[in-house]
Chains A and B, each alone.
Chain A
Amino acid sequence: MLFEQVLQQIINGLMLGSIYISVAVAFTLAIGILNFLNFTIPALYMLAGMVGWSLSQYGVPFGLSGPINWAFALFIGIICAILASLLVERFTYRYFKMKHGDATEHAIPLVSSLGFLLIFEYIILIAHGSDTRGFSTAFSNLDWRIGGFIISIPQLLSLVFSILIVAGLSVLLKRSKVGRALRAIAENPDAATIMGIDVDRIVPIVFILIGFLCGISAAIFAINYHEVSPYMGDHVGTKAIAAMVIGGLGSVWGAIAGGLIVGLSETLSIYFFGASSAQITVWGLLLVLLVFRPTGLFGHNAIGKGKF
């Protein structure tokens, strides 16, 4: 019986991990390509969920329309996350390259992304308060029982879906022309410019991808767990950072492995040691890994070691 319960927990952990995967990939893209620890990602994730909820509950602000269908509302939420991400690009990354004659210049995008994190979070808090909101979608309770195990179908679909998106992304990075340009920028932005890559036009693509991944992940979360809250980004964001580091900074497949490992260790430690132990397990794992294998499981040696 114990064995079966543990197996059920493993299934739940993998499902939870699927939420972390897309967000962890968003983090790892920002670090791997732009060397930018983008702290707005949790806020973008929350923005997509809360905008979707608000539209499906109240419709467009200022009474321009009635409540919108949940699927369309979530779609608009994802668009909002992408637009917000582009706004972040305009005010953070573009200032990366400005020289100020001191080594602290690389903290600029990091610090202003923290500023944007506050701006987005508190806009939502001012508009909707801090309560957790129920979000009803068409899929209310679809569980699939095989041999005594419960697998939620939306969760299974979302796991497959996130892995498909990430696999597509990985192919895009390897094969397409844009992907090659992105990898060139990751290697050396100056050399990429010399080789004729228009860095200012390619970089926004990364931010569009970041917004898209956060939005998709938030939509999957809303469909699976039927709730959104202004703080939903903090929980997922910190776990996704852990997932990214465990997988290795800049590695897309590492982020998938990391997401699943974090999801698994979280549910298993809750099952064995109680609800508040997950924090110690996940971050302890990360710290031990950082000390003994500072590049993560699949990380590249050179990424993220630059000075701030």
Chain B
Amino acid sequence: MSGYLSGVLAILGINIIFAYSIYITAATGQLNLGGAGFQAIGAYACALLSNELGLPIYLTLVFSAILGGAISFLIAFPVLRTKGVYMVLATFAIAEIVAGIILNTDYLGGPTGMIVNAYIETEVVLVVAVIIVILGFYIMSTRIGLAMRAVHDDEAVADLMGVDKRAIQVGAFTIGGAIAGLSGGLYALYFGFIEAQYFNANISIFVLLYVLIGGTQTAWGPLVGASFFTLIPEALRIGDDWRFFIFGVIIVIMMIFRPEGIVTRDALERVWRQLFSGKRNV
């Protein structure tokens, strides 16, 4: 595998994992605009554990997921008291606070960043990405996934039907935080250097866009969205500025013609029917 290709694949893997973390929350109807904050927590946890304690790589990744999950579990209670726009802004505030704390802590390298000693190959990132994608599909196929969809479509009715709305929302937020922490850990180990400035508002916005453009109705959404927006610019081989300009244009056009995202339940059913027509009477 050439260096360029393996680099692109690693970024793709990290983006897909990150997209699933936001997707799990979005699937319950909560928009999380603070993804970068949870990613930063995972990245710094991973870096510290491997630099200071010399833990093996797999253990550091597990711990960065656990820490991301634990912190988002604690934050979930105050944050989920807020709704709608307030929730978006509260998660945004959390990401800003995390970045601010890292910038002000000398132990974490402050504004100069931190070098990570351990290192992982692209293959590890891809294996973890495959596991997370399977996990995402599995969660959405269980009763929990069904409850998440119910809460997403109508909170009040889901509540009336006996779905524990609060448990579902807190659970989804926690799992999302854990997966974001994991993606941060992988980022730290793959690139070998982390700084607070990388985990900025733009990263949170982009990952939310991957998910919303991919579609929040099915577990295909984040996979398609993250792959689309990571691979298309690479395939076009255009400068960074033009890349984001075209990204913006695609978003505006997408929202006009396919506001539910690239992959929707309807579209999937239609494809299924075409593939297996005759075998199934739908």
Q: Which residues of A pack against B, CB within 8 Å?
A: 31, 37, 91-92, 95, 98, 100, 102-105, 107-108, 110-112, 114-119, 121-123, 125-126, 234, 238, 241-242, 245, 249, 274, 276-277, 279-280, 282-284, 286-287, 290-291, 294, 304-308
Given contacts A114-B205, A238-B96, A249-B85, are A122 and B259 in contact (CB under 8 A)?
Answer: no
CB nearest neighbor in A for B196? A276
Within 8 A of A (CB), among B237-261: 241-242, 244-245, 247-252, 255-256, 259-260
Indicate if the CB atoms of B256 and A119 lie closer than 8 Å.
no
Q: Which of B1-9, B38-46, B55-63, B99-107 contacts A (4 or more CB under 8 A)?
A: B99-107
Q: How far does the Cβ of A79 sit from chain B's closest Cβ, in whole Å?
A: 22
**B78 is an interface residue with CB less than 8 A from chain A:** yes
Indicate if the CB atoms of B248 and A100 lie closer than 8 Å.
no
Indicate if the CB atoms of B78 and A283 lie closer than 8 Å.
no
24 CB-based A-B contacts, threshold 8 Å: A102-B153, A102-B260, A103-B152, A103-B154, A104-B217, A110-B31, A112-B255, A112-B256, A114-B251, A119-B248, A126-B245, A238-B96, A276-B103, A280-B97, A280-B100, A282-B96, A286-B90, A287-B90, A290-B82, A290-B90, A291-B81, A307-B29, A308-B29, A308-B31
Indicate if the CB atoms of A276 and B104 lie closer than 8 Å.
yes
CB nearest neighbor in A for B78? A291
Q: How far is the CA of A282 from the CA of B104 in the complex (A)?
A: 14
Contact for A116 among B100, B209, B248, B259, CB less than 8 A: B248
**B168 is an interface residue with CB less than 8 A from chain A:** no
Indicate if the CB atoms of A119 and B97 lie closer than 8 Å.
no
**B83 is an interface residue with CB less than 8 A from chain A:** yes
Number of B residues near A (Cβ < 8 Å) is 49
Indicate if the CB atoms of B252 and A112 lie closer than 8 Å.
yes
Contact for B99 among A107, A123, A279, CB less than 8 A: A279
Indicate if the CB atoms of A118 and B201 lie closer than 8 Å.
no
Contact for B94 among A92, A117, A125, A287, CB less than 8 A: A287
Contact for A294 among B81, B213, B251, B256, CB less than 8 A: B81
Given contacts A279-B96, A294-B82, are A122 and B241 in contact (CB under 8 A)?
Answer: yes
Indicate if the CB atoms of B255 and A279 lie closer than 8 Å.
no
Q: How far is the CA of A286 from the CA of B87 in the complex (A)?
A: 12
Indicate if the CB atoms of B251 and A118 lie closer than 8 Å.
yes
Indicate if the CB atoms of A286 and B89 lie closer than 8 Å.
yes
Given contacts A105-B259, A280-B97, A287-B93, are A122 and B242 in contact (CB under 8 A)?
Answer: yes
Majority secondary structure of chain A interface residues (helix, strand, loop or mixed): helix
Q: How far is the CA of A8 from the CA of B245 in the complex (A)?
A: 42
**B72 is an interface residue with CB less than 8 A from chain A:** no
Indicate if the CB atoms of B248 and A117 lie closer than 8 Å.
yes
Within 8 A of A (CB), among B31-82: 31, 78, 81-82
Indicate if the CB atoms of A95 and B259 lie closer than 8 Å.
yes
Indicate if the CB atoms of A103 and B84 lie closer than 8 Å.
no
Q: How far does the Cβ of B110 sit from chain A's closest Cβ, in whole Å?
A: 8
Closest 6 pairs between A and B when the two form their complex, measured CB to CB: A115-B251, A118-B248, A279-B100, A119-B248, A304-B85, A280-B100
Q: Which residues of B pack against A, CB within 8 Å?
A: 29, 31, 78, 81-86, 88-90, 92-94, 96-97, 99-101, 103-104, 111, 152-155, 201, 205, 208-209, 212-213, 216-217, 241-242, 244-245, 247-252, 255-256, 259-260
Given contacts A114-B251, A305-B83, are A100 and B97 in contact (CB under 8 A)?
Answer: no
CB nearest neighbor in B for A274? B104
Indicate if the CB atoms of B251 and A102 lie closer than 8 Å.
no
CB nearest neighbor in B for A98? B259
Indicate if the CB atoms of B252 and A91 lie closer than 8 Å.
yes
Contact for B217 among A102, A122, A308, CB less than 8 A: A102
> In the complex, which residues of chain B have a beta carbon less than 8 angstroms from the beta carbon of A282?
96
Q: How far is the CA of A192 from the CA of B209 in the complex (A)?
A: 33
Contact for A283 among B31, B93, B155, B252, CB less than 8 A: B93
Indicate if the CB atoms of B252 and A276 lie closer than 8 Å.
no
Given contacts A276-B100, A280-B101, A283-B100, are A126 and B241 in contact (CB under 8 A)?
Answer: yes
Q: How far is the CA of A238 from the CA of B92 in the complex (A)?
A: 10
Q: How far is the CA of A60 from the CA of B148 in the complex (A)?
A: 54
Q: Which of A119, A242, A282 has the most CB of B within 10 A?
A: A119
Indicate if the CB atoms of A277 and B104 lie closer than 8 Å.
yes
Indicate if the CB atoms of A116 and B252 lie closer than 8 Å.
yes
Q: How far does the Cβ of A113 sit from chain B's closest Cβ, in whole Å?
A: 9
> In the complex, which residues of chain A have a beta carbon less than 8 angstroms from the beta carbon of B92?
241
CB nearest neighbor in B for A249? B85
Indicate if the CB atoms of B251 and A122 lie closer than 8 Å.
no
